[in-house]
């Protein structure tokens, strides 16, 4: 599916939800994609991309940034604390803030460098043991802890369980965000982004629908 097709579907979903045009940011998930596919999307004028791994992003994006202005890079995969400084320098937004140790590391880096990427707290809405993210019952406390560290918390992120109705998780994330005064909702992927938009998503993460099937290294 072409980038323009995805953009038209986003515009329609936004209009159908009665939301303002341009209120949803499309993150093109470029993880495990060949450089030529990524560059084709860059040549179409798209600049917002998502990567899962710091090491992969570090090997890919500095060269692209030399050739294309305005790249807006989002980390959407789990982050080890020892990769925090590298992530801090590479990404404009980090969607996977999920534990106090990482929050304290980011706060220290922000003081050292004088800047900080925008942050999303990852919420494990399905309370899946194998998945990262704070549980919904702990989200309010963790958001407050991050704010006390002066971290720029823009919103919340979730990845619903694959075997459950995504709408329930989108609604839960929106409810947690609302009571914490957070405007950002990073939710919805290739198969369900229109549904996510109807529940208020501000950032959707679309990979295979734009690039085709992933190509593992």
**Closest by CA position to 75, among listed 110, 33, 119:** 119
DSSP 46-97: --EEEES-HHHHHHHHHHHHHHSTT-EEEE-S---GGGHHHHHHH-SEEEEE
Looking at residue 154, what is its pLDDT? 98
Q: What is the pTM of this model?
A: 0.94
Residues of the chain with pLDDT under 50: none
**3-state class of 150 per DSSP?**
coil
Helix (H, G, I), strand (E, B) or coil at 98: coil
Find out whether 155 and 198 touch, Cβ atoms under 8 Å: no
Q: Give the per-residue pLDDT at 186.
A: 98
* Residue 215 confidence (pLDDT): 63
pLDDT for 179 equals 98
Q: Are 154 and 119 in contact (CB under 8 A)?
A: yes
Which of 52, 57, 30, 59 shows the shortest CA–CA distance to 42? 30
pLDDT at 17: 97
Give the pLDDT score at 136.
98
CA angle 41, 47, 49 (to 5 degrees): 80
How many CB atoms within 10 Å of residue 25? 17
Task: Give residue 2's pLDDT.
Answer: 85
């Amino acid at each position: 599916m072409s980038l323009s097709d995805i953009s038209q579907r986003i515009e329609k979903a936004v209009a159908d939800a009665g939301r303002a045009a341009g209120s949803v940011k499309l993150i093109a998930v470029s993880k495990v994609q060949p450089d030529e596919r990524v560059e084709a999307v860059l040549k179409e004028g798209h600049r917002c991309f998502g990567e899962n791994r710091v090491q992969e992003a570090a090997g890919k994006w500095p060269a692209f940034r030399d050739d294309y202005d305005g790249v807006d890079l989002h980390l959407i995969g789990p982050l080890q604390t020892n990769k925090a400084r590298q992530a801090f320098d590479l990404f404009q937004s980090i969607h996977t803030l999920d534990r106090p140790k990482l929050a304290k590391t980011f706060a220290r880096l922000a003081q050292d460098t004088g800047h900080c990427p925008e942050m999303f707290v990852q919420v494990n809405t399905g309370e899946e043991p194998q998945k990262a993210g704070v549980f919904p019952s702990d989200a309010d406390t963790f958001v407050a802890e991050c704010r006390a560290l002066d971290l720029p918390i823009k919103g919340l992120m979730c990845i619903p369980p694959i075997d459950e109705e995504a709408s329930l998780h989108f609604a839960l994330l929106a409810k947690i965000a609302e009571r914490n005064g957070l405007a950002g909702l990073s939710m919805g992927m290739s198969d369900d982004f229109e549904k996510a938009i109807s529940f208020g998503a501000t950032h959707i993460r679309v990979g295979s629908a734009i690039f085709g099937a992933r190509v593992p290294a």
